[in-house]
Structure 1
Amino acid sequence: MTNDTDCTTLQSYSYMSEQITKYIGVFLYIICLFGTVLNILTLLQRTYKTRSCTLYLITASACDFAHLNLEPLSNILQYGFNYDWTINSLIYCKTKSYLAYVFTVTSGTLTTSASITQYFLSSDKSTRWYYARRHIGIRCIKFTFIFWFIVSIPILFCSDRFYHIFQKERLICSNPARHIYCYTVQLLYICLFNGFLPPFIMLIFGLLTHRNVHHLGQRTRHKSIRIQRINQQLISMLILQAIKSTIASIPYSIFNCYWLSTISNHKALLLQAKENLIHQFSYLLFWSNYTSFFIYIYSSQIFRHQCMKALKKIICCRSGERERR
C-alpha cells in the first residue's frame, strides 16, 4: 500500500512539473519575448539611443531575445509538450547550452554595467564622467562579448545529454556535474557569475547612485530639465531592476548551491521529485529577469511615452504599406 501511495505521489509531482512548464512557462515566455522586443524598440528612440547607459540596455535586451529562443523555448517544448527538436544531438546540446549561457551572462553583465555607468554620471568627481561616455560603452560591450565567449568555453565540455528519472526517462541537456571539474563549473558559472554577482553588484551601485542623486541637479543646472528627468528616471529604472533581479536570481542560485552540495548523497525518489519541482519553480522565477520592460514602464513616464511613440511608428508604417499596396 505504501509503495502504491509513493508511486501515486511521484506521478503527481511529475504531472505538476509538466503542467507548470506547459502553462506558466508558455505564459512567461510570451510576456518576456513581448517585453524584450518593446524594450529594444523603445530604447532605440532618439531620446535614449545617444546615451551609453541605454546602449548597454539595448544590447542586453538583444541578448535576452536570443537566450529566450535558445534555452527557455526548447525547455518548454521538451518538458511541457514532450517535443525534443535536438534529435539526440550531442553537438546541438553543447552548442545550445554554451550560447544560451553566453547570452544570459552577457545580458546580466551589461545591465550591471548600465548601473555602474549611472553611478559614474551621478558622481561628484568629474574624472568618473569620462567612463560614462558612449565610445567607452561601445568598447565595454565588445570586450564583454569577447570575454564571455572565451570564459564560457568550459560549458561546452560539461554539457551533456543524460536520462532524467522524472522526465519520463527522456534525454535532457544539462550539466550533470559528475566530475569535480564540471561541479566547479556549475558552482562558479551558474551560482556565482549568473546568480549572486549581477544582482548584488547592481544593488550596491543602485544604492550608491541613489545617494548621489541629490548632487545630480546641482551639477546639471546648465542642462535642460528634460535631460535631468531622463537621467533621474534611468536611475529609478535601474534601481528597481536591481531589486527585481535579486528576487529573481537568488532563489535559483540557492537551489543550485543546495543541489551541488547534496549531489553525492543517496536520495529517496520522493525527495528527488520534490527537488525537481522546486527547481522548476525557481527556474521559472529566474525568467522574470527578462521582464525588465514592465519595470521600466512602471518606473518611468518618459519610457512610457517613448514606448507609445515607437508603437505608433510601427502602426503608421504598416498602414502606409497597406495603402501603397
Structure 2
Amino acid sequence: MSGLTEIQIIQGQLLRYMPLTTIVIGTIGNILNCLIFTRRKLSRNSCSIYFLSSSVANFFAIYFGCLPRLLDTFNIQPPASQLDLYCKIKTFLTYIGLASSAWFIVGACADRYASSAATVLLVFLDYFQMNFCFYGAIQAANCSTVSRFCGVWNDYNLLITFSLLPPALMFIFGWLTIRNVRTTGHLRRETNVKDRQLTTMLLIQVISTAILTLPISIQKLYSEITLNQTKSQESKLIENFFATYVVLLALMNTSTSFYLFTLTGKIFRKELKDLICLRQRQPTVEPTIATTNAKK
C-alpha cells in the first residue's frame, strides 16, 4: 500500500469519526450549556448570556458543518436538482455558526465594552455573500466556489473574521476583564467570586479556541501564498488532507465548551449537579396535605 493511499484512507476515517464525535459530544454539551446558563443563578450574569448565545450558535456549525460530512462518508447526498441550494445553505450556516460562536466569546470577553448583537449582525451580513459564491458541485463533502475570486475572498474572509481577529480580541478583552475584576473592589464578595469563576471559564475557552483555530489560519495563509505554484499530485493530496483536518479541528471547537466549563468552573459544576439532582431536591407536598386532611 502506497503512502498516498494510506493518506486517503486516513482522511476518509477522519471525515467519518471526527464529525461523529463532534456531533455526539457537541449536542450533549451544548444542550447542557443551554440548560445551565438559563438557570436563575447564572442567567442574570451578562457573561452567561454570551456563553448561552455561543452554545446556540454551535448547533448551526455542528449540524451544517459536521453532519453533511458524516453523511457523505455513507454516500448520502441530496438530489442533484437541489445541490445548489444545499451548498449555499450548508456553507452559509456553517460559517455563520463558527463565526457567531467565536464572536459571542469575544463579546463575553469585552462584556460591557462591546455590543454582541451589533457584532453578530455584521458577521451575518459579511458571510451573506457566500450565497452567491458557492454552487452545487459536491466533492468530498465540500462545495465549490463559482470563481477564483470568490475562493480567495472567502479564504481571506474566514481567515480574518474567524481565525485571526476573534482570538486576538479575545486575548485583549480577556486581559481587560481580568484587570477589571481585580481592580473593582466595591462589589460584593459573592459577586466577585462568581465573576472570577466565570472569567476563569472564559479564559480557558479563549485558549482552547485559539489552539483549535490556529491551524486553519496557517492552512489558509499557506494556501493563498502558494496559490500560483505548480504542485505535484502528492503535494496536492497532502495539502487536501491537512485542509480537511484543520476544518474538522475548527468544527470540534464547537463541542468543547461544556467540558472545559465543567473542569474549570466550580459554580458551573454546582449548577450542573443541581440540574441533575433537581427532581430529588423537589419537596413532596402530598404527605403533608394528607396529614392535614386527616387531622381535620
* Interval containing the TM-score (normalised by the shorter chain): 0.7 to 0.9
Residue number in structure 2 paired with 1:238:
202
Residue number in structure 1 paired with 2:6:
12
Residue number in structure 2 paired with 1:120:
none
Compute the displacement of 1:312 (Å). 3.0
Among candidates 127, 149, 152, match of residue 152 of structure 1:
127
Stretch moving more, 303-312 or 235-244? 303-312
8 Å CA contact 1:195, 1:253 repeated in 2: yes
Q: How many residues align?
A: 280
Alpha-carbon distance in 2 for matches of 1:145, 1:158: 21
Residue number in structure 1 paired with 2:234:
270
Among candidates 276, 289, 295, match of residue 253 of structure 2:
289
8 Å CA contact 2:135, 2:146 repeated in 1: no
Unmatched 5+ stretches in structure 2: 283-296
Among candidates 300, 319, 322, match of residue 265 of structure 2:
300
Compute the displacement of 1:184 (Å). 2.0
Among candidates 276, 287, 292, match of residue 311 of structure 1:
276
Matched, 1:184 2:159: no
8 Å CA contact 2:85, 2:136 repeated in 1: no
Q: Secondary structure at the match of 1:174?
A: strand
CA 1:256–1:103 in 2, change beyond 3 Å: closer, same or farther?
A: same
Among candidates 229, 238, 262, match of residue 193 of structure 2:
229
Among candidates 88, 101, 107, match of residue 95 of structure 2:
101
Stretch moving more, 152-161 or 293-302? 152-161
Q: Secondary structure at the match of 2:174?
A: helix
Alpha-carbon distance in 2 for matches of 1:19, 1:289: 19
Q: Deviations over 1:137-169 (max 9, x none)?
A: 8xx3443443233222211111233364xx4xx
Residue number in structure 2 paired with 1:85:
78
Residue number in structure 2 paired with 1:121:
none
Amino acid at match of 2:49: L
**What percent of counterpart residues are identical?**
24
CA 1:219–1:91 in 2, change beyond 3 Å: closer, same or farther?
A: same
Matched, 1:115 2:84: no
Amino acid at match of 2:75: N
Question: How big is the alpha-carbon RMSD for the aligned residues of Structure 1 and Structure 2?
Answer: 2.4
Alpha-carbon distance in 2 for matches of 1:64, 1:86: 27
Matched, 1:205 2:170: no
Alpha-carbon distance in 1 for matches of 2:178, 2:116: 25
Alpha-carbon distance in 1 for matches of 2:136, 2:150: 17
Alpha-carbon distance in 2 for matches of 1:198, 1:82: 35
8 Å CA contact 2:103, 2:120 repeated in 1: no
Matched, 1:251 2:215: yes
CA 1:173–1:19 in 2, change beyond 3 Å: closer, same or farther?
A: closer
Compute the displacement of 1:229 (Å). 1.2
8 Å CA contact 1:154, 1:185 repeated in 2: no
8 Å CA contact 1:39, 1:58 repeated in 2: yes
Q: Secondary structure at the match of 1:89?
A: helix
Alpha-carbon distance in 1 for matches of 2:196, 2:32: 21
8 Å CA contact 1:159, 1:173 repeated in 2: no
Residue number in structure 1 paired with 2:292:
none
Alpha-carbon distance in 1 for matches of 2:134, 2:280: 43
TM-score (norm 1): 0.79
Amino acid at match of 1:210: I
